[in-house]
C-alpha cells in the first residue's frame, strides 16, 4: 500500500524565502517601534524643557464649560473626561444614524437607476450628480443656514397635526415617557427584527432548495410589529407620552433634535448616499445579463429578480467599496464643528484651549476615529465573508 509523504517543512534559514521574509518583517517592526519611541521621548523632553505640562491627568479636572446637546446628564462641574465621552457619544450618534439612513437611501437610488420609468431614472441620476459634486462642507452650511434663517421662530413653528414642530430651535416630536413598559416594547421590537431576519433567511433557503418563492416583505413587517405589540402587552400596555407644545418663546415637552444635529445628519446622509448609489449601480451591473434572462425564463417578476437573484450576487462587489463610504461618513462627521455641533472634535478642541494639553487632546481624537474605523472595518469584513459566494 502506497503511503503519501508528509508535506515538507519550511526551512527557517537565511536561504529560505519564508525565513528571510520573517526576518525582514521583524526588523521592520523593531525599526517602527524605535521610531515611535524616539518621537514620543523627544516630544516629551522638549515639552519638559519649555515648561509645558504633559500627561492625561487633566481628564479628572472640572471641565467648566457647558455642552448644548448631550445624550446623558452632564454638568459643567464634571470632568474633562466626562465631557469628551459625551462628544464621543454625539459622534457615534450621528455616525450610526447616518450609516443606516445612507444605506437605505443609497440602495434605493442605485436600484432606481435601473427602473423602467424614465422619470425615476432621471431623478436618481440628477440626485447623484448634484450631491456628489457639491462639497459636503458647503452642504452642511447650506442646511444649517436653512434651519436657523429660513425656519420660523418657535412661537410660529411649522406644525404637523399638533404633534410635530419645526422651527429655529429644531425638530420637536412626541416621545414615550421613560419607564420599564417602553423598555419591554423596545425589546419586543428588537426580538421581532431578529425573528424577521430569521424568516427571510429561511425563505431564501427554501427558494434555493425548491425554487418556490415565499413572501418576505409583509411577513417581516408583521413579525416586527407583532414583537412590539407583544412587548407592549407584557409591559402593561403603557400609554403615557410627552407631547410637545408650542410656547411663545420655545417648544416645551416631547423630544427634540437641534438644528446643528439635523444639518450634520442630513448633509452626511445626502452626500454619502450619492456615492453609495454609484456603488450599488456598479454592483448590479456586474451581474451578467444571462442571470436576469434566466430568472425571467423561470417566471420571476422584475422585483423578485432584483431581490433574489441580482442583489445577492452583486453584494460581493458592493460590500468592499461600501465599507469605504461608511468610513468616510464617520470621518466627515468631524466637519460638524463648522456648524457648532458638539462632537468629539469640538469638545476636545475646547478642552485643548482650556487645559493646554494639545498633544493629548489630538491623540484622543485620533484614537476615537481609529477605533470607530477599525470596528466598522472589522464588522464589514465579517459581513463580506458571510455574503461571499461559496462554491460547492
pLDDT given for residue 143 in this prediction: 94
Per-residue pLDDT at 13 exceeds 70: no
Answer whether residue 392 shows pLDDT above 60. Answer: no
Question: What's residue 1's pLDDT?
Answer: 47
- Residue 229 CA to residue 233 CA, distance in Å, equals 6
Q: How far is CA 29 from CA 26, 61, 122, in A?
A: 5, 37, 53
The pLDDT value recorded for residue 45 is: 77
The 10 Å CB-count burial string (b at 16+, else e) for 180-214 is ebbebbebbbebbeeebeebbeebeeebeeeeebe
- pLDDT reading at 129 higher than 60: yes
pLDDT reported for residue 389: 64
pLDDT digits (tens, 9 = 90+) for 335-370: 999 998 999 999 999 999 888 888 889 989 999 999
C-alpha cell at position 339: 456648524
Q: Where are the chain's structural domains?
A: 80-149+260-387
Alpha helix ranges (H) inside 298-343? 302-305, 311-332
Low-confidence winner among 10-24, 219-233, 259-273, 337-351 (lowest mean pLDDT): 10-24
Average pLDDT over residues 302-331: 86
Residue of higher predicted confidence among 181 and 66 = 66
- The pTM score is 0.81
Q: Which three cell numbers mark 25? A: 518583517
Q: Over range 135-139, report the average pLDDT.
A: 94
Tell me which CATH code domain 80-149+260-387 carries. 1.10.3720.10
Reported as type and span, the H/E element at residue 104 is helix 80-112
Three-state secondary structure call for residue 2: coil
- Nearest-angstrom CA–CA distance, 253 and 245: 6
Give tens-digit pLDDT for 249-268: 778 878 888 999 999 999 99
Asked whether the beta carbons of 197 and 154 are under 8 A apart, the reply is: no
Q: Which cell is 202 given?
A: 429561511
Q: How many residues does the chain have?
A: 392
Amino acid at each position: 500500500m502506497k503511503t503519501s509523504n508528509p508535506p515538507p517543512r519550511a526551512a527557517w534559514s537565511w536561504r529560505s524565502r519564508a525565513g528571510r521574509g520573517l526576518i525582514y518583517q521583524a526588523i521592520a517592526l523593531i525599526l517602527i517601534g524605535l521610531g515611535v519611541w524616539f518621537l514620543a521621548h523627544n516630544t516629551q523632553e522638549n515639552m519638559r524643557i519649555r515648561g509645558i505640562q504633559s500627561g492625561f491627568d487633566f481628564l479628572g479636572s472640572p471641565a467648566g464649560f457647558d455642552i448644548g446637546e448631550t445624550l446623558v446628564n452632564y454638568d459643567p462641574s464634571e470632568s474633562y473626561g466626562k465631557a469628551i465621552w459625551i462628544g464621543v457619544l454625539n459622534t457615534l450618534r450621528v455616525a450610526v444614524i447616518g450609516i443606516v439612513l445612507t444605506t437605505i437611501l443609497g440602495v434605493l437610488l442605485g436600484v432606481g437607476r435601473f427602473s423602467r420609468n424614465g422619470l425615476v431614472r432621471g431623478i436618481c441620476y440628477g440626485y447623484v450628480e448634484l450631491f456628489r459634486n457639491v462639497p459636503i462642507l458647503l452642504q452642511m452650511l447650506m442646511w444649517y443656514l436653512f434651519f436657523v434663517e429660513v425656519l420660523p421662530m418657535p412661537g410660529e413653528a411649522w406644525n404637523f397635526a399638533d404633534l410635530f414642530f419645526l422651527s429655529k430651535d429644531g425638530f420637536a416630536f412626541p416621545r414615550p415617557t421613560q419607564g420599564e413598559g417602553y423598555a419591554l416594547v423596545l425589546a419586543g421590537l428588537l426580538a421581532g427584527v431578529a425573528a424577521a431576519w430569521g424568516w427571510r433567511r429561511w425563505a431564501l433557503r427554501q427558494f434555493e432548495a425548491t425554487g418556490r418563492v415565499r413572501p418576505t416583505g409583509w411577513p417581516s413587517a408583521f413579525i416586527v410589529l407583532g414583537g412590539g405589540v407583544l412587548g407592549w402587552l407584557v409591559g402593561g400596555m403603557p400609554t403615557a407620552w410627552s407631547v410637545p407644545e408650542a410656547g411663545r418663546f420655545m417648544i416645551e415637552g416631547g423630544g427634540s433634535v437641534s438644528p446643528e444635529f439635523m444639518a450634520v445628519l442630513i448633509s452626511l446622509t445626502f452626500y454619502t448616499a450619492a456615492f453609495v448609489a454609484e456603488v450599488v449601480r456598479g454592483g448590479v451591473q456586474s451581474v451578467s445579463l444571462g442571470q436576469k434572462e434566466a430568472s425571467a425564463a423561470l417566471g420571476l417578476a422584475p422585483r423578485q429578480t432584483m431581490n433574489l437573484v441580482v442583489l445577492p450576487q452583486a453584494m460581493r462587489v458592493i460590500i468592499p467599496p461600501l465599507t469605504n463610504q461608511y468610513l468616510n461618513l464617520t470621518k466627515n462627521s468631524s466637519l460638524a464643528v463648522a456648524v457648532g455641533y458638539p462632537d468629539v472634535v469640538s469638545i476636545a478642541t475646547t478642552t485643548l484651549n482650556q487645559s493646554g494639553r494639545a498633544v493629548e487632546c489630538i491623540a484622543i481624537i485620533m484614537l476615537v476615529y481609529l477605533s470607530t474605523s477599525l470596528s466598522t472595518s472589522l464588522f464589514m469584513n465579517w459581513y463580506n465573508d458571510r455574503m461571499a459566494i461559496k462554491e460547492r
